[in-house]
Chains A and B, each alone.
Chain A
Amino acid sequence: MTALLELEGVHAGYGPTSVLHGVSLTVPEGGAVSLLGANGAGKTTTLRAITGGVHWSGDIRFGGRSLRRMHTEDIVSRGIAHVPEGRGICTELTVDENLRLGAHMRRDGAELRKDYDRVFAYFPVLKERRHLSASTLSGGEQQMLALARALLMKPRLMLLDEPSLGLAPMVVRAIFEIIRTINRESKVAVLLVEQSARIALDLSSHAYVLEVGRVAVEGDSDELKGNESVRRSYLGY
């Protein structure tokens, strides 16, 4: 499989505080990769570096082209949908307006209508609540809205930052089931940041474990799941 996203020796941080000390990782075309690690290991910063939210050095390439010095708006228009920490829902807007915001760069009317149908098939509740304010949705529904909105951007890669955060286990299972479907059926690559390693490893085929800004361990998800010392020292279960 060819690499869709490549990070090579990426250093990044906020002002004088550096958070990443040379992170390298690869997400293959259509692949599913987990990025695990404790609080403060640099998982969110890695995602933010990819979409230009923090200054970085090293190299980040998407589809073979470097993202160096590009603005966030232009990076995402190349086909990266980033669902940030806290989901980034516009609570002043309705559900429908949030979805239209995801699709606002698209000019392919017929395709877009099909994508709307597909999104509503994944998340029927969003169709029911289309005209309500997004602030009336529950946490799980907001996560669904964030995923739906990301899908309407027609991405080649989705960056998901802790989709399980603050949700009931049953809701988490449903949402991960849909992420898996999106990954398999729509061939959208996924880079998943998670605290709960077990559920992330079930989804991904490959995983990286970050420790204070460096990749401490990487490998096949199944391998990491089976490796008891890795599990104890890094994954906490």
Chain B
Amino acid sequence: MQEFLQLVVSGLAAGGIFASLALALVLIYNAMGLVNFAQGEMAMFATFIAYALISRGMSFWIAFPVTLVLAFGGGIAIQRIVIRPVERAPVLTLVIITLGLATLVNGVAGFLFGYVPRPFESPFSSDTVGVLGVFISYRDLGVIGVSGVVLLLVYLLLQHTTVGLTMRAAAHHPEASRLLGVHVSWMLALGWGLAAAVGAVSGIMVAPVLLLEPNMMQAIIIYAFAAAVLGGIESPLGAVVGGLIVGVTVNLAGVYVPFVGGDLQLAVGLAIIVAVLIIRPNGLFGRASVRRV
């Protein structure tokens, strides 16, 4: 039982990381009906920026927000320069552009920083604390706490500010929003910026666990897809719940399902994607979509 609870808690920590990246995917999906395959690579690149800042002597807790601001600006720049000219293109074109963007960001990171995995110092101690007989590492608690705060901030921004309201309106009803004076194109750019910043959180949180290198996020993005699909790809809340479920499930499956072990955990993520798409394509929180043909 104790082992089980410990696995659940460390699964929640992993889930917080998946949830952040999944939320980034959902933000862009909502804004333009597009899965951004470059989201993981953008997060990886932001993590390298944080690494560069920290290795030049900046403290983690300053480098972290600075990186998020830079990632936000980078996300806006990508939308303005790469996405906006093809905004009205068919979705397949956009998908291929994000795939190209992923390769490009990966290559640039490799060129600038090299492919040698680097240790990324966690800001949290690896000591553990006993709570009701369960030993939890400060590291897991820290990751859960940081992800929780970031997700809460995004929620408050979207649900309780005027900017958030206009972003949601622009995403769902661009034509009607324009008639109400909403600058729809800028709202899409804001969505990209926000997604880049939230994704960067997942990169920075996962780097101490995985070692930092250009391919670091390639497994994480699969889990994030699983989380987003499980939650219903349109639902921010669904992304968070989906992330936590995927984190815990993968962790438990690695220990309790004999043949999964450490090697097949990624396959569990893929299995979740396939199972959700077959059994409940709209996910846990998605609305059934009706499309007239």
Contacts and interface: CB of A to CB of B under 8 A. Distances in A.
B169 A90 contact: yes
Contacts of A77: 181
Contacts of B181: 73, 76-77, 104-105, 153
B180 A102 contact: yes
Contact of A101 (B175, B180, B183, B184): B180
A101 B169 contact: yes
Contacts of B182: 73, 101, 104
A41 B176 CA distance: 23
A101 B178 CA distance: 11
B166 interface: yes
A101 B179 contact: no
Interface string A91-124: 0110001001110110000000000000000000
A53 B175 CA distance: 9
A153 B168 CA distance: 19
Given A73-B183, A104-B166, A92 B172 contact: yes
A97 B165 contact: yes
A82 interface: yes
B173 interface: yes
Contacts of A102: 180
A101 B172 contact: no
Contacts of A26: none
A149 interface: yes
B176 A104 contact: no
Interface size class, chain A: 20 to 34
B162 interface: yes
A66 to B, nearest CB: 19
A73 B178 contact: yes
Interface string B169-211: 1001101111111111000000000000000000000000000
Interface in A171-204: none
Nearest to B183: A73
A90 B178 contact: no
Nearest to B163: A104
B180 A104 contact: yes
A139 interface: no
A22 interface: no
A88 interface: yes
A117 to B, nearest CB: 20
B156 to A, nearest CB: 15
B165 A89 contact: no
Contacts of A84: 175-176, 179
B259 to A, nearest CB: 43
Closest 4 CB pairs of A and B: A88-B176, A72-B178, A82-B179, A92-B172
28 contacts: A51-B179, A72-B178, A73-B182, A73-B183, A73-B184, A76-B179, A76-B180, A76-B181, A82-B179, A84-B179, A88-B179, A90-B168, A90-B172, A90-B177, A92-B173, A93-B169, A93-B172, A100-B165, A101-B169, A101-B177, A101-B180, A101-B182, A104-B162, A104-B165, A104-B166, A104-B180, A104-B181, A105-B181
